[in-house]
Amino acid sequence: MKYLIACLGNIGAEYANTRHNIGFQVGDALCADLSGKFETGRLAQTAVVKYKSRVLVVIKPTTYMNLSGKAVQYWLRQENIPQENLLVVVDDLALPLATLRMKTKGSDAGHNGLENIIQTLGNNQFARLRFGIGNDFPRGKQVDFVLGEWSKQELLALEPKIPAAVEMVKSFVAIGAERTMNFYNNK
């Protein structure tokens, strides 16, 4: 069985340690955990890793966040992966810092990357792992916040949660979204 793990973020050194790039950080940690290595591919950096006899195609789109759907659609088709085997790893302002939640479908909740994926695929029927980045910003400063770098305090809170997110991705692949949600979402 094949899975597409789409870890969202923005390419470029200026975005490397920003809140919006937590998806990339989880993707990097997942590949390190499963001894994978990213290579430059079409529309994304890609790594192919194995977990419990399953093949995971992990992508970090190079299309920038707002056009993530283009990379997701391409790699689903290229690797002949059914949409039910897609997991999108994404930052979420609506969740408290370092909170992890898996969902099997839903709206874009104002997230441009999710919005583009939903528009490109023509539906919202795909799993996503939402990684809370909090919402501690003044009114009208949302863009500055999501594109801002983590504070030292935030990094301390994230440290144990990135490996937890990796475990959730592996659980999604091994036992599916529903059972993963039951096991992890209330922790």
Please identify every stretch of the chain with a pLDDT value under 70, giving residue numbers as ranges. 186-187
Q: What's the CATH number for 2-184?
A: 3.40.50.1470
Let me know: does 47 contact 32? Beta carbons within 8 Å.
no
pLDDT digits (tens, 9 = 90+) for 87-114: 999 999 999 999 999 999 999 988 999 9
Let me know: does 113 contact 65? Beta carbons within 8 Å.
yes
In the chain, what are the domain boundaries? 2-184
| pLDDT at res. 183 | 93
CA distance linking residue 104 with residue 115, whole number of Å: 15
pLDDT digits (tens, 9 = 90+) for 13-32: 999 999 999 999 999 999 99
CA distance linking residue 132 with residue 95, whole number of Å: 4
| pLDDT at res. 187 | 64
Question: Could you tell me the pTM of the whole model?
Answer: 0.96
Cite the active site residues.
20
Let me know: does 51 contact 172? Beta carbons within 8 Å.
no
Using the 8-state DSSP alphabet, how is residue 37 labeled? -
